[in-house]
Every structure is written in C-alpha cells, then in structure tokens.
C-alpha cells in the first residue's frame, strides 16, 4: 500500500516532467552555467587548482538542487494540486517518499551531464573510479534531497519561500557537502585511500538514514494545518 | 513578573560589574598571559549558547508533536538567546585565537559546529520573522533538524586536525583560576535564565494581545 502510493506519486511527477521537461532543462542549464562561471574564475592557462573539481561539482549540485526543489512544489501550488495531493488516500510519508524519489531521479540525471563536464573543464580524472563516484554521488544527493524535499514542502505555504529555502537548506546540509567534497577529492588522488573513502561513504549513509527517518516521521505533523 | 525577578536582575547586574575585578584577580596563565583572561567570558558564553540551543531543540520537538503554544514561545525565546550567546562566543573566540594560535579562524571541529549551529539559529529567526503564517511549525522542524545535524558536523570536521582545547581542561584548573571561571559561569547562567523568562513573558503578552484583537474583530 505504502509502496504503491510512493510509486503513484513518482509516476505522476515524472509524467508531468517528461511532458514539459521544464525542471530538467532549467536545472541543467543553471548547473552548467555555474560550472562555466567557476571555470572562468579558476582555470588559468589551462590549469585548474588541484582541489577545485570536487568543490565545483558539489556547489553546482547544491545550487541546481535548490532550484529544482523550489520548482517541484511551486508547480503543485500553481496548479492548486497540493491540497488534492495531501487529500489523496495514501499515507502522508508516501507522498514525501514519492516526491523525494522524483527529485533524486532528476538530480542524478543532471549529475550524469555535470560529472563529465567538470572532468573535462577542470582536467580532473573524476571517472577513474566510477563505482565509488556513483556511491558518493548517490548517497550525497539522497541526503541533500531528503532534507530539501521536506523543507520545500513545508515552505510551500510561506510567502517568502524562494528566499527561505536556501537559508534553511545550506546550514543543515553542510555535512553532506563536506563528506561529498572530501570523498570525491579522494578519488582524484593517485593512490586510492579505500579506508578513508569508506569512512566518508559510511558518514553519508548514516546521514541519509537519520534524515530520511526524521523527515518521514515529521512530514505528517509539519504538513498538517 | 514573578517576585524573584527584580532581585535576581539586580544581583546579575552586580555580578557583571564585579566580574572584571574578579577576573583581574586571577593569576596570569604562563604561556598566553593577559589574553587568556578572555576565557572567563568566552567559555561561559559558549556553554550558555549550547544550553539555549538544546532548550530550543527540545521545546521545538515538543511543540511539533504536542502542539502546545507555550513550548513554541519557549523555543523562540531560546533561539534568540542562542544567537546572542553565539555572537559573544564567536567574537571572543577569534580574538583569543589570534593570540593563541596566530590565526583568527580555523576550520576546527568545535568552531565549525558552533558556527553551523549558530547559523541554524539565525535561519530559525529569519523563518519566524519573514515566513508569514504557519512559520512556527516550519521553524520547529528546522530546529529539530538542526539538532540532529550537530553530530554529523562534529564527526565530519573531526577528521581534520583539531586544535581547540577540550572540556577536560576545566576540572584541572587551579582554584585561583577556577574560582573566577565559576563566578562568570554563574553570572552568565543567571543572565540566561533572566532573559529567557523576560522573552517568554513578551511572547505571552503578544499571544494575549492577538487573542484580544481576534475577539474584537468578531
């Protein structure tokens, strides 16, 4: 029952997105612009600072993610469908989980383009360890989107939602960004430090578990008037 | 206002006036000298920052699940005090660090987690002020997530080099230094209690006024 509710919300969001492609295109374009600005600022005579690539990648993900999070609920509000969604005979946490999975799909798709772009512009061998990179990106994105989806949902009713979302989101997601940047930076080392990489990945997984649980638990009281 | 409030406020004022004298009486620390004296205000402020953050988190959680508006007022009051004591700790810290470590700021575990906690408290106040109707739940949710966040910030930064002294230093202090420290500690604690009481009272008055306005409209 719960999974069915989740699946229905994901399918609805993806159907709307596939028809308009609004969030996917705008988010991707914004993320690419971010990376380009960093490239203009940091790359000198074809050489980028050593640690720049992971930082740029994660900043682009965080910025673009904020934009996408704001839009996905803004769409529900504009079409006056939020109330319908909340009235649907499924568990409230299922709605949250569905929204979260839709957001994950969108951000992972954006990262699919971002990673090669950053690797290219900053001459960083990001694709050297694809499995580790996938693990770090997936867990990091989940942590960021888990907090972001909840806050974006709560902010739908607030007047100043566009300003408040980044204000709330960035202080909370700092550990995710730290772990993501550090983990990705390790992949660029000539010698792979597997033990340290495991630590960052474990930290990301713990963060995901704690924050997804907390979000599922608080979604109901937070979304009830 | 409860009967104890005015005498307690007067006592707190006297203690603050007396604190420079007490601190001046403490001996000089052997390596840092005069600059170490900032510690007598820095540590109590930092502890009160933590205490008010915990009060804010617990009150927010209780408000979120029980819906008691008194807890919400307590949470708001505690968030303001978190920002206030946080400013004191975050200003005195770098002043001391410049002399002791040679730098104003280090991305050390305690510094980073304090700064992030302080930013969450500021975000809480921004939500309360600009969030419009319904922002009290939003702010409570933020406080809850902010509390859960602290261990993660702590662990993630702890993997870098740490230079901040640990709390285990405090019991080993000689009485000549421990005495002034506990005096300042008591002063700050009293200030926290007084300000919290005052701010909660203001919140109660606001709530009463709102209720009267609503009653007039009907």
pLDDT digit string, tens, across residues A6-62: 999 899 989 988 898 888 899 999 999 999 999 999 988 878 888 899 999 999 999
Interface of B with A in 74-93 (CB under 8 A): none
Q: Is residue B26 part of a domain?
A: no
Q: Is residue B213 part of a domain?
A: yes
A158: chain B residues, CB-CB within 8 Å: 127, 131-132, 134-135, 138
- Whether B134 sits inside 8 A of A157 (CB atoms) is yes
Touching check for A203 and chain B: CB below 8 Å?
yes
- Whether B130 sits inside 8 A of A164 (CB atoms) is yes
Check if the beta carbon of residue B118 is closer than 8 Å to that of residue B49.
yes
User: Which pLDDT value is given to residue A190?
Assistant: 86
| Interface test mutation site (partner A, options B145, B150, B160, max chain A beta carbons within 10 A) | B145
CA distance linking residue B62 with residue B54, whole number of Å = 12
Q: Is residue B8 part of a domain?
A: no
Q: Is residue B111 part of a domain?
A: yes
Q: Is residue B182 part of a domain?
A: yes
Task: For chain A, give the percent of residues with pLDDT over 90.
Answer: 54
Touching check for B64 and chain A: CB below 8 Å?
yes
Q: Is residue B23 part of a domain?
A: no
DSSP, residue by residue, B31-56: TTBGGGGGHHHHHHHHHHHHHHHHHH
How far does CA A91 lie from the centroid of its chain?
24
User: Which pLDDT value is given to residue B161?
Assistant: 47
Span B66-107, pLDDT tens digits: 889 999 999 999 999 999 999 999 999 888 888 877 888 877
Q: Is residue B67 part of a domain?
A: yes
Q: Is the pLDDT of residue A79 over 90?
A: no
Give the gap in angstroms from C-alpha B67 to the nearest C-alpha of chain A. 9
Check if the beta carbon of residue B19 is closer than 8 Å to that of residue B183.
yes
Check if the beta carbon of residue A92 is closer than 8 Å to that of residue A219.
yes
Choose the closest CB to B141 out of A154, A159, A210: A154
- Whether B141 sits inside 8 A of A211 (CB atoms) is no
B133: chain A residues, CB-CB within 8 Å: 157
User: Which pLDDT value is given to residue A210?
Assistant: 92
Check if the beta carbon of residue A9 is closer than 8 Å to that of residue A94.
yes
- Mean pLDDT over B159-163 rounds to 54
Touching check for A207 and chain B: CB below 8 Å?
yes
Choose the closest CB to B127 out of A147, A168, A179: A168
Span A163-220, pLDDT tens digits: 889 988 998 998 899 899 989 999 988 888 888 899 899 999 999 999 999 999 988 8
B138: chain A residues, CB-CB within 8 Å: 154-155, 158, 168, 222
Q: Which two tokens stand for residue A207?
A: 């963060």
Span A127-154, pLDDT tens digits: 889 999 999 999 999 999 999 999 998 8
> Of B44, B180, B20, B32, which Cα lies nearest the Cα of B98?
B32
Choose the closest CB to A160 out of B119, B130, B156: B130
How many structural domains does chain B have?
1
Give the gap in angstroms from C-alpha B108 to the nearest C-alpha of chain A. 13
- Whether B123 sits inside 8 A of A207 (CB atoms) is no
The model's confidence at residue A101, banded by pLDDT at 50, 70 and 90, is very high
Q: Which two tokens stand for residue A62?
A: 């965080």
User: Which pLDDT value is given to residue A125?
Assistant: 87
User: Which pLDDT value is given to residue B173?
Assistant: 67
Give the gap in angstroms from C-alpha A20 to the nearest C-alpha of chain B. 30
Give the gap in angstroms from C-alpha B218 to the nearest C-alpha of chain A. 22
User: What does the DSSP 8-state code read for residue A53?
Assistant: H
Domain that holds residue B50: 35-162+176-217
């Amino acid at each position: 029952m719960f999974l069915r509710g989740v699946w229905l919300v994901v399918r609805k969001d993806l159907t709307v997105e596939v028809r308009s492609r609004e969030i996917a295109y705008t988010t991707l374009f914004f993320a690419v612009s971010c990376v380009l600005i960093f490239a203009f600022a940091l790359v000198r005579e074809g050489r980028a600072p050593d640690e720049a690539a992971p930082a740029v990648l994660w900043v682009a993900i965080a910025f673009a993610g904020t934009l996408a999070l704001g839009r996905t609920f803004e769409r529900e509000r504009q079409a006056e469908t939020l109330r319908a969604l909340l009235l649907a005979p499924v568990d409230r946490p299922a709605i949250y989980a569905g929204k979260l999975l839709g957001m994950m799909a969108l951000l992972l798709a954006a990262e699919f383009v971002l990673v090669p772009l950053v690797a290219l512009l900053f001459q960083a061998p990001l694709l050297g360890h694809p499995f580790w990179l996938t693990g770090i990106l997936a867990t990091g994105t989940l942590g960021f989107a888990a907090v972001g989806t909840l806050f974006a949902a709560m902010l739908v009713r607030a007047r100043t939602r566009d300003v408040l979302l980044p204000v709330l989101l960035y202080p909370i997601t700092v550990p995710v960004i730290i772990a993501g940047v550090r983990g990705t930076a390790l992949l660029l080392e000539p010698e792979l430090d597997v033990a340290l990489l495991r630590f960052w990945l474990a930290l990301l997984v713990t963060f995901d578990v704690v924050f997804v649980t907390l979000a599922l638990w608080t979604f109901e009281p937070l979304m009830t008037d | 206002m409860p009967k104890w409030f005015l005498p307690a406020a007067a006592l707190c004022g006297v203690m603050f006036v007396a604190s420079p004298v007490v601190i001046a009486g403490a001996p000089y620390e052997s390596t840092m000298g005069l600059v170490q004296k900032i510690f007598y205000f820095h540590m109590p402020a930092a502890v009160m920052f933590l205490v008010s953050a915990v009060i804010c988190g617990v009150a927010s959680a209780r408000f979120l699940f029980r819906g008691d508006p008194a807890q919400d007022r307590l949470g708001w009051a505690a968030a303001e005090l978190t920002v206030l004591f946080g400013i004191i700790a975050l200003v005195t810290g770098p002043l001391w660090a410049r002399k002791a470590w040679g730098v104003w700021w280090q991305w050390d575990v305690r510094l980073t987690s304090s700064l992030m906690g302080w930013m969450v408290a500021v975000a809480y106040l921004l939500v309360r002020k600009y969030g419009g109707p319904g922002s009290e739940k939003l702010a409570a949710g933020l406080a809850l997530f902010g509390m859960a966040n602290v261990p993660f910030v702590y662990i993630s930064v702890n993997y870098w080099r740490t230079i901040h002294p640990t709390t285990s230093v405090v019991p080993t202090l000689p009485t000549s230094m421990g005495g002034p420290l506990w005096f300042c500690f008591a002063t700050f604690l009293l200030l926290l209690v007084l300000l919290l009481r005052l701010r909660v009272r203001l919140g109660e008055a606001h709530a009463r006024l709102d209720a009267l306005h609503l009653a007039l409209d009907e």
